[in-house]
Structure 1
Amino acid sequence: GLNSNTKLYKFRTAIALASVLGNVLVVLVVCVNRALRNTTFCFIVSLAVADIAVGLLVIPLAIIISLGFSTQFYTCLFLSCLLLIITQSSILSLLAIAIDRYLRVKIPTKYTTIVTQRRAWVAVCLCWILAFLTGLVPMIGWNNRDAQGNLSSSSDIVCQFTTVMRMDYMVYFNFFGWVVVPLTIMISLYAEIFRVIRRQLNQRAEATCDGDRYYQKELKLAKSLALVVFLFAVCWLPIHIMNCITFFSPQCQIPKFAMYAGIFMSHVNSALNPMVYAFRIKRFRLIHIELEKSSLRGSLFIFM
């Protein structure tokens, strides 16, 4: 009813605020701390920017679209595509982080010459360009316009995500192509990262106690970043699995509350990453304390 909808909007607003404040803090932490201005944290900033966009754009747009307002077909389609672009940039940023960590443990001596700050920012730009290109595919034809019958360019429709977005695009292209494939690559990369680190630590344990600091630090950071990937998968897979059920078994009716729960979980993901950094990465935790003592104390820390 109306009361449950109001509660849902309040929850979404709280998540949007937590996501924006938490991720703005992540960007500030990297900006004020020189020790964090390395290539990995370029990608973490990219992920934080995507999560800020979730709070500022995706959640408000999702609320607006759920209200079912009337607008032209392509306006509604573009708003729906924006949701996909920002999600896609998160996945590609996570993939870039995984590749970066893999290179760092696989070729530690050559890493600094191959992965420069400039190349890292070029990679970030490429991630966002690719996110825009894949997210805007429905705008060039892979959409539900034909299903609307003889719709003139000036006709208004009730704006719903499923009204404008084709489910075969969401399942085959978006989910299988741009979620399952990157997640599979990431899982493989982190498995190899942990295998290499364990092997190095075992070898160094026999030779020297001092030489394993580098790999101990890498292991701890890799665990934190793998946790970010795991949380992403846990939060995003339910809604994609429900899309697959809707597409492959149209006779199966997904309860509305389950769809809302899936959408809700996908939004929650953006507020979780800053918590992972704050609790698991020591340099982040220390700078958090410094910022808390400074003028940033107060509203920025409500949700952290």
Structure 2
Amino acid sequence: MMVIQLCECSFYGLAVYWISVTGVGGIGDKYIFSKSPQSGFFQAADAAEVTMNFTVDNVTAHPDEGFLVARNNTHNSSGFEEPYLYLEHHFGWMVVTALVIGLAAVVGTLGNILIILAVCCVRTLRTCGNIFVVNLSLADMIVTVFIDPMNVVGAVAGRRVLMEDPVLCEWVASFCAPACMSSMWNMCAISLNRYVLICKPHLYPTIYTVKSSIACCLFIWLLAHLLCMPNHIGWGQNRFNQEYYLCSFDMVTHTYGIFYIMTGVIIPLVGVLFGYTAIFLKVRSVKMQIRQHQKSLATKTTTTETTTGVNDAAAEVKKKRPQKPGFTVDDVKLAKTLFAAFLVFLICWLPFALFVLAHEPDAIPRWIYVIAIIMAHGNSAVNPILYGMTNEKFREGYRTILGLNRRVEDGKSARRDQTFGHGMLPDATSMGASTRVGRTSVDSRKDSRV
């Protein structure tokens, strides 16, 4: 019996050595060997009947690393279960990932705070529509303040910190999934808000009040948590994801991954596309009406009369609208800004969504997963920059919050004073005369108010 066991061990030892040296099957082939605790025989982890066999199941051969590593922790402790973390063996990628996500965390946190302060403190930005922008910034701040730093920890020390602390991992996942889903539903709510304002202006004051907008934002958060609830009650589970170096829903449970992408990406995406498509068609229709009036009047009038005719055409178009139009040029510009934010969001999150739906972790190089998570979480830092670049009102709000407007005004007044005095102080006579003139003007204004 002992001779048989020694022969068996020698056979499997030679097999493992031959596979590790020759790299049979290449990257992506998976092998697992386990030792039976009862008999001491080496056997395949998945083979209940056959003991003298090995199967392709769980351990991935990495010839460039020179050893066999496990793809995930699906087997019990008797098997070879050490997960392969790409960044542990590629220091350059680890440094780049940590630096980029860390920078996104800092920029995103400061930028989203700036958005919230601008909307709350600048009167021209305090609108019902921007309540949803604030809600989106809050969701992005959860990512930049909490999730991004944990992603950096996962990239640098995920095995020692997140994999060995299931409680911390559960907390991170419980914040990550609802915040990301809330961002997408906020994009949908913003597009529908712009749609009602521009395409159905007579309904906007009735549908969107301050109270109803806040209630809608609260409902978005409730919906995001309800859609993530199945992951906590048995459908799926939260764990450290070794492709993205972050604790999130278990993508091995593919059915829940499909459910998450459908409810958190596809359905709100349909709402976003509907809203912005309708806005585009409405704005184009209004522009075509104005151009038609301009062309019809230009053929019948002189150059001087054409100017008057264009004004009449604009007046005629306004007559066809309600007396108080529901949207202005600034509203259309804001809609364009928000649509640009949506496009950036879609580009950043599309690779992640496609990888979850494809569910082929071994068919895609690991560095592509690293780029996908950098793009996804980097999106939370993009919106503040995008708003400032594309929308004048937000730029003005940023300047006001940062105190730049005051400095510009002080500089202008200083230049005016310097120009008036030519760099010299006025004499006492001129000061007295100006004082008398000032008092006279103040008295006259008082009389006029009376």
TM-score (norm 1): 0.83
The whole-number CA distance in structure 1 between the counterparts of 2:132 and 2:367 is: 34
Count of residue pairs the alignment pairs up: 281
Q: What does 1:14-163 align with in structure 2 at a 5 Å threshold?
A: 14-66=103-155, 67-68=158-159, 69=161, 70-71=163-164, 73=166, 75-144=168-237, 161=247
Gaps of 5+ in 2: 1-89, 239-244, 294-311, 408-450
Whichever residue aligns with residue 104 of structure 1, its letter is: L
The whole-number CA distance in structure 2 between the counterparts of 1:92 and 1:163 is: 19
Structure 1 stretches of at least 4 aligned residues deviating more than 6 Å after TM superposition: none
Q: Is 1:272 aligned with 2:385?
A: no
Greater relative contact order (Cα < 8 A, sep 6+) = 1
Q: What secondary structure, in the 3-state scheme, does the structure 2 residue paired with 1:143 have?
A: coil
Alpha-carbon deviation of 1:169?
4.3
Whichever residue aligns with residue 284 of structure 1, its letter is: F
The whole-number CA distance in structure 1 between the counterparts of 2:203 and 2:172 is: 43
The whole-number CA distance in structure 2 between the counterparts of 1:142 and 1:65 is: 25
Higher Rg of the two aligned structures: 2
Whichever residue aligns with residue 194 of structure 1, its letter is: F
Q: What does 1:241-280 align with in structure 2 at a 5 Å threshold?
A: 241-245=354-358, 247=359, 249=360, 252-280=362-390
Match of 1:184 in 2: 270
Gaps of 5+ in 1: 146-158, 298-304
Assess if the C-alpha contact under 8 Å between 1:194 and 1:219 holds in 2.
no
Assess if the C-alpha contact under 8 Å between 2:173 and 2:249 holds in 1.
no
Check 1:162–1:274 CA distance in 2 against 1; reply closer, same or farther (3 A cut): closer
Match of 1:208 in 2: 313
Alpha-carbon deviation of 1:163?
8.5
The whole-number CA distance in structure 1 between the counterparts of 2:189 and 2:237 is: 32
Structure number with the higher helix fraction is 1
Q: What secondary structure, in the 3-state scheme, does the structure 2 residue paired with 1:136 have?
A: helix
The whole-number CA distance in structure 2 between the counterparts of 1:259 and 1:110 is: 45
Per-residue CA deviation, residues 99-131 of structure 1 (Å, 9 max, x unaligned), is 111111122123112210110000000011111
The whole-number CA distance in structure 2 between the counterparts of 1:225 and 1:260 is: 27
Q: Is 1:236 aligned with 2:339?
A: no
Match of 1:195 in 2: 281
Q: What secondary structure, in the 3-state scheme, does the structure 2 residue paired with 1:208 have?
A: helix
Q: What secondary structure, in the 3-state scheme, does the structure 1 residue paired with 2:314 have?
A: coil
Q: What secondary structure, in the 3-state scheme, does the structure 2 residue paired with 1:209 have?
A: helix
TM-score (norm 2): 0.57
Match of 1:155 in 2: none
Alpha-carbon deviation of 1:294?
5.3
Per-residue CA deviation, residues 200-229 of structure 1 (Å, 9 max, x unaligned), is 333355363364994533322221111111
Assess if the C-alpha contact under 8 Å between 2:176 and 2:248 holds in 1.
no
RMSD across aligned C-alpha pairs, in angstroms?
2.7
Identity %: 26
